[in-house]
Structure formats: C-alpha cells, structure tokens
Amino acid sequence: MNGALYPPIEPHEQGALDVGDGHVLHFEMCGHHTGVPALFLHGGPGSSINPGHRRFFDPSFYRIVLFDQRGCGRSSPRGVIAHNTTAHLIADVERLRRHLDVSRWMVFGGSWGSTLALAYAQAHPASVSGVVLRGLFLGTRTEVDWFLEGLRRFVPEAWAEFAGGAAQAGARELLGRYASQVLGPDRTAALGAARRWAAYESALMAVGEVPGASSPAADDDAVLDRVRVHLHYLAADCFLQPGGLLSALDALAQTPAILVQGRRDLVCPPATAYTVQQAWRSARLCMVEEGGHSAAHPAMAAALVRATEDMKTLLERTPR
C-alpha cells in the first residue's frame, strides 16, 4: 500500500451511461457529495479505472468522478473499436458532465489520459476548472516510434522478443504487423500478438519501479480487448491532427495546470512535458527526479497528491 495516497474509499454511486453507437459507459463517484468536481481519465488507450485511482484526491474536498472509456473495463461492449475515436471520447466526457449536472470540473489524466485531458479541455475550455497531467503524451508519431523502436536501447532483450527476431524492424513495420494480427480475424494469432505486446509494455513499465509492483496477469479476453483498443488508436495516430494539441494550448492560457513528470519515465520521456510547459507558460511543471512512468511509484504518487492539494488553492483563486 502506498502511504502517499489517501486511504482506500468506496464509491457512493455507480451508474451506466448510454452514449450511443451501442456503447454504455461505466462510471462511479466517491468523496464529498457536493465537493469540487474532479474527473479522473485513465490511460491506455484501452486500460481502465481501478480503486487506487480514487486515492489521489482528498475525499473531504473533491467530488471524484471516474469512468471507463469506450471499449474499456466495465464499459460495454468491451474491446469494441467501432465508433471509438478520440472525438467520441471527448463527446462522452462532455455528455457525462451534463448527465451528472457538473458545471465545471478539474480534469486529472496520466499518459493517454493526459492526451485525452488536453484534447477535451481544448474542445470545452469552459467546462474545465483546472488540469493535472502526469507522464505527458501528445499522441505523435515521434512518441510512438520511440516506444516501438527507440527503447530497444534500454530493454534489448524485451525488444528482441517483441520484434520476433526481426533485428532491423522499424517502428512503422512493427505497428503495422501487430495491428494486423491483433485486429485480425484469427483469435489465436491475435491473442499471441496481444500477449507479446503486453509483455513488452510490462518490461518498459518495470524499469526503475519498485520491485513487486507489477500488476497481476490478466485473463486472455482482458488482454486481447485492451490491446485491440490500444492498437486501434495507435494505428490511427490517436485520431489527432499532427501538432494539434500543442498548437491549441492558447485556449488554456487561463486554466490552472500542474504537470507532473517522472525524470526516469521511459514510456513518456520528460521532453514532452517540457515542450508542453514551454508552450503553456502558465502551467507549473513538477519534475520528479526518482519517478518513472507509473503513478504508483511512491515518489510519483506523492507528487500527484501534492498536485491535487495545490490545485485546491489554484481553483479558489480562479473566477467561477
């Protein structure tokens, strides 16, 4: 158990929201019933919320809202990629806000969650009171190519297994091959590729993390569903215009923002957070020297809790 986090807490409300196209979102709320609304956006794409995500927020101050994105977790149908794009997710967040009768909320997202948080905040700045982002990712080809090819210099054995012996395989070739297999009709081939992709992810996530901090192995269906959604987004450049998130930061010039970045994050290296902060000068960048990609690392968890605490003061200073 991470001592930096708030104690475990259970939802006081859970629900299902039909967002159309056959998708129904699972959502939950915990903390203060009438507190300052805070929305948690999980990573991936393709991952899901878990009980630990509730613990970054002071439950006596925040009305904490969490949900599983389309095709993810307890949302249904899981693993479905039809009608599942970044634009759909942005619309889902706004529909959930209206459904819960929230005027504005503070948005918290890490990794892919930071991408979605930025995209949503830029599309609906009047709906966002503040932003906390971790392990920033802008969905660019450069970042994805680093993940698929550049990191072979740090985890050569894991990359060799991932590349399947193709020593000269490039990032685009690997992405195309895995997308073709995982999104293809042969379940056996799809599951094998999904397992290899997940193993490579796990090897990267483990670098610099606390021993024994890895997640338990998921069942076949869960792995395949998660990686299907993940590759669907990566193969489509996350359904974002090149440079779009960075060029639209002016829309958030007055929005309080704290960027929390692990110095040792291999998956989403610090250069992205620094680039965002240079373009978004009002945002505060907190570089965690001992931190990696995982929000569960003690140093990262402590920095994220400090960020949600500091955000209380920033929200009080912001005109409603």
30 in any annotated domain = yes
Residue 107 has pLDDT above 80, yes or no: yes
Residue % of the chain over a pLDDT of 70: 95
Three-state SS annotation for the chain: CCCCCCCCCCCCEEEEEEEECCEEEEEEEEECCCCEEEEEECCCCCCCCCHHHHHHCCCCCEEEEEECCCCCCCCECCCCCCCCCHHHHHHHHHHHHHHCCCCCEEEEEECHHHHHHHHHHHHCHHHEEEEEEECCCCCCHHHHHHHHCHHHHCCHHHHHHHHCCCCCCCHHHHHHHHHHHHCCCCHHHHHHHHHHHHHHHHHHHHCCCCCCCCCCCCCHHHHHHHHHHHHHHHHCHHHCCCCHHHHCHHHHCCCCEEEEEECCCCCCCHHHHHHHHHHCCCCEEEEECCCCCCCCCHHHHHHHHHHHHHHHHHHHHCCC
Q: Would you state the pLDDT for residue 168?
A: 80
Q: Would you state the pLDDT for residue 232?
A: 98
Domain boundary among 238, 256, 289: 238
Task: For tokens 């505060």, name the residue.
Answer: 284
Domain boundary among 195, 220, 238: 238
For residue 268, the enclosing domain spans 13-138+240-317
For residue 298, the domain's CATH number is: 3.40.50.1820
Residues 240-259 have pLDDT tens digits of: 999 999 999 999 999 999 99
Q: Would you state the pLDDT for residue 205?
A: 87
Q: What angle do CA 129, 130, 132 make, to 5 degrees?
A: 155
99 carries an active-site annotation: no
Q: Would you state the pLDDT for residue 166?
A: 73
pLDDT grade for 210, boundaries at 50, 70 and 90 = low
| Pair 231, 167 in one domain | yes
Token code pair at residue 55: 């613990």
8 in any annotated domain = no
Domain boundary among 174, 203, 238: 238
6 in any annotated domain = no
| Pair 119, 244 in one domain | yes
206 in any annotated domain = yes
pLDDT grade for 317, boundaries at 50, 70 and 90 = confident
A 10 A CB-CB count for 99 gives: 14
| Pair 226, 290 in one domain | no
Residue % of the chain over a pLDDT of 90: 91
218 in any annotated domain = yes
Q: Would you state the pLDDT for residue 1?
A: 44
The answer to whether residues 158 and 286 touch, using CB atoms and an 8 Å cutoff, is no
The answer to whether residues 99 and 29 touch, using CB atoms and an 8 Å cutoff, is no
Encode burial over 201-218: b for 16+ CB neighbours within 10 A, e otherwise: bebbbbbbbeeeeeeeee
2 in any annotated domain = no
| Pair 222, 288 in one domain | no
pLDDT grade for 316, boundaries at 50, 70 and 90 = confident
265 carries an active-site annotation: yes
List 68, 92, 225, 265, catalytic entry? 265
| Pair 266, 127 in one domain | yes
| Pair 130, 147 in one domain | no
**What's the whole-model pTM score?**
0.96
Residue 211 has pLDDT above 60, yes or no: no
Residue 6 has pLDDT above 60, yes or no: yes
The answer to whether residues 68 and 19 touch, using CB atoms and an 8 Å cutoff, is no
| Pair 122, 147 in one domain | no
User: What is the pLDDT of the chain when averaged over all its residues?
Assistant: 94
List 47, 48, 75, 111, catalytic entry? 111
* Higher per-residue pLDDT: 276 or 206: 276
5 in any annotated domain = no
Token code pair at residue 171: 């990032």
Number of domains within the chain:
2
List 42, 293, 294, 297, catalytic entry? 293
User: Distance (Å, rounded) from C-alpha 143 to C-alpha 156?
Assistant: 18
pLDDT grade for 207, boundaries at 50, 70 and 90 = confident
4 in any annotated domain = no
The answer to whether residues 261 and 287 touch, using CB atoms and an 8 Å cutoff, is yes
| Pair 128, 18 in one domain | yes
| Pair 231, 266 in one domain | no
| Pair 134, 18 in one domain | yes
Q: Would you state the pLDDT for residue 3?
A: 75
Of 205, 224, 204, the closest CA to residue 159 belongs to: 204
186 carries an active-site annotation: no
Mean pLDDT across the stretch 24-31?
Answer: 98
Mean pLDDT across the stretch 164-175?
Answer: 86
pLDDT grade for 33, boundaries at 50, 70 and 90 = very high
| Pair 25, 130 in one domain | yes
| Pair 114, 216 in one domain | no
